[in-house]
Amino acid sequence: MKLRDVLFLASLLLLCPRPAGAQEEVRAPAASWIPEDAVFALEILRPAPLLEMLCGEKATALVTSLPAYRRNEETKEFQDFLGLVKLLEADLETDWRSALARLTSGGFSFALCPGGAALLIVDGSDADMLQSLHGVLLGIARAEAEKQGKAERVSSSEHAGVTCWTFDDKGAHALIGTRLVLASSQEALRAALELQAGDAGASLATVPAFQAARLAALQDAAACLYLDLARLGRAPRVQRALEENRRNPLAALLLSGMAEALRQSSWLAGALRIEQDALVLEATLNEIERDPQGPAAFALPAAPGDGALPHLALPRRVAAISLYRDLARFYAAKDDLFPERTSELIFFENMMGIFFTGRELTGEVLAQARPAMRLVVAEQEYDLAIGTPLVQLPAFAAVLELDEPEEFAEVIEEAWQKALGLINFTRGQQALPGLIIDRVTHGDTRMTVAYFSSAGAEDRARLHQRFNFRPALALRGDHLILSSSEGLARDILDALDQDARQAPLAGADTLIELDGGQLASLLEANHATLVRQNMIEKGHTMEEAEAEVSTFIALARLVDRLELCAGSLQGATRFRAAARLNVEAPAR
């Protein structure tokens, strides 16, 4: 579809020039126009607050300050688009934002059906204006076709008593009173029209799963979404993706709880709400009993009150993941979970046997770790006396809790030093510098730290990537810290000091938090590297690459915080995702 066609369809959305209410009419719910086999449906019930957040003055100011926007605003296509918007604003005697708000005052619904058919139903409030504006746009399209010496681009036909329009034989649309129906094909449009005429079978509105999903969505939602997981799960591509997740041990460890719940559920209902500057999506799966003996039971909190721990408050934190995973139980089920990877796992187990001096991995090593574990990623601060790497990688760390820390302390220390020794041996074989092991203290905690010598470094502002790593091991009480950098290990120790032991979030098995501002800061620190990478990966000029990278950083900064919580919450399997937007963020 060409830009001009997109503009035409987009313009169709700007069709409500008069205040709502003048010609309100009773309409059947959009869901009763959507075929019952829809796999995905999104209903925007209260569009005004959403539009204010995404298209309001602040958001517009942010978007127009983006480098990519500034680069494109001089292009002919963009000027054409602006010209069209101005033309419509003049015709409607209002600005585009007001027009858009009026257009969507009745909400709109989007649905995807098997085979890729898509349907968008927009409820406006002024049928006369809808018709007259439609006429204007058709006139523009016809004039354009004539100018290009091409045949008629717009055609129409009658179906179920309604005029169906097509534009360049791509997509189709129809106007019924104040409702505009856009479809990806004429067939999809006809199916919707037949449903509204009562000539076809059941609609989505009559599907019990959809009804249940709607009920599960909160009443104050700005939007609801529905996903037919049973139908979606039969799609070969989805099946493949779920299978791959099952076969990869790391992915299974991280995602199995969620993936298993999705696999077992027949529908997912989502409610989108706006809380101050945050977009909050709460998704609920239909009631299922999570099998305490099933393959994903290692991610199932064992007792009431168990769950993932709250995140640690750390400086420069980019991301935090808190999980409830019973590692011993996970590894004990390896033969059932990954039957085709037995040889790799045996190799892994043998290696672990070397590090842990013959201890049995499941019962004597992994069983030491309590299920609540936390992972953190943070931007690094570099010691100026050592220097700064050219590529600044974030530090990452795992914080585990041990059942018998005193008995296990030397075991883990020995394994850690063996691992460092192996790294050094391997690097030594390649004549590469190795790690120097040191013992340092932080408060009353002794840490084992390993570092690369920077003696002889020629340019301390452009150190090698290895200087991002200064691996550290620390034990504080029953907490075990494994960190890629000494600095992060120290920050974690401070955080553990300051945070009283917090109660877990009962029922939650996965908590994830991403800090957009900190991510933007990390990307900014690697700006030159990212620009260079963009140039050779996309064939961009330096100016193009600068604009793209700066836009990406600005978008990262726009997301102040992204939070995800998943687990058995309030009696059902739920996911809660919240995106807190920072619309005040300045773009570079």
Sites of contact with another protein (CB under 8 A): 390-391, 430-433, 462, 464-465, 528-529, 532-533, 535-541
| Closest alpha carbon to 582 in 514, 536, 523 | 514
Residue closer to another protein (CB basis): 155 or 529: 529
Residue closer to another protein (CB basis): 452 or 575: 452
The distance of closest approach from Cβ of residue 545 to another protein in the complex, given in angstroms and rounded to an integer, is 11
Residue closer to another protein (CB basis): 72 or 248: 72
Q: Using alpha carbons only, give the angle 140, 141, 146 rounded to the nearest 5 degrees.
A: 95
Residue 9 tokens read as 């369809």
Q: Which residues sit opposite 121 in a β-bridge?
A: 109, 181
Q: How far apart are the first and last CA of the chain?
A: 32
Strands 445-451 and 395-401 come out as: unpaired
| Closest alpha carbon to 573 in 230, 150, 288, 179 | 288
C-alpha span between 250 and 330 (Å, rounded):
11
The distance of closest approach from Cβ of residue 387 to another protein in the complex, given in angstroms and rounded to an integer, is 13
The distance of closest approach from Cβ of residue 541 to another protein in the complex, given in angstroms and rounded to an integer, is 7
Residue 583 tokens read as 């619309």
Phi, psi of 389 (to 5 degrees): -70, 150
Compute CA distances 56 → 10, 52, 62, 98, 557, whole Å: 18, 4, 10, 10, 18
Q: Using alpha carbons only, give the angle 152, 153, 155 rounded to the nearest 5 degrees.
A: 85
Residue closer to another protein (CB basis): 72 or 417: 72
User: Helix, strand, coil % (nearest 5) of the chain?
Assistant: 45, 25, 30
Residue closer to another protein (CB basis): 446 or 540: 540
Residue 397 near residue 474, CB atoms below 8 Å: no
Residue closer to another protein (CB basis): 240 or 538: 538
Residue 28 near residue 196, CB atoms below 8 Å: yes
The distance of closest approach from Cβ of residue 4 to another protein in the complex, given in angstroms and rounded to an integer, is 13
| Closest alpha carbon to 416 in 483, 369, 465 | 483
The distance of closest approach from Cβ of residue 431 to another protein in the complex, given in angstroms and rounded to an integer, is 6
The distance of closest approach from Cβ of residue 116 to another protein in the complex, given in angstroms and rounded to an integer, is 19
Residue closer to another protein (CB basis): 430 or 570: 430
The distance of closest approach from Cβ of residue 537 to another protein in the complex, given in angstroms and rounded to an integer, is 5
**For residue 49, what is the enclosing H or E element?**
helix 47-55
C-alpha span between 588 and 582 (Å, rounded):
14
| Closest alpha carbon to 376 in 310, 301, 457 | 310
Residue closer to another protein (CB basis): 418 or 460: 460
The distance of closest approach from Cβ of residue 532 to another protein in the complex, given in angstroms and rounded to an integer, is 6
The distance of closest approach from Cβ of residue 539 to another protein in the complex, given in angstroms and rounded to an integer, is 4
**Dihedral angle sign, alpha carbons of residues 206, 212, 215, 218:** negative
Residue closer to another protein (CB basis): 153 or 273: 153
Residue closer to another protein (CB basis): 359 or 540: 540
The distance of closest approach from Cβ of residue 188 to another protein in the complex, given in angstroms and rounded to an integer, is 22
The distance of closest approach from Cβ of residue 311 to another protein in the complex, given in angstroms and rounded to an integer, is 30
The 3-state DSSP class for residue 356 equals coil
Owner of token pair 């084992």: 448
**Amino acid identity, position 473:** L
Q: Using alpha carbons only, give the angle 412, 418, 424 rounded to the nearest 5 degrees.
A: 140
Residue closer to another protein (CB basis): 294 or 433: 433
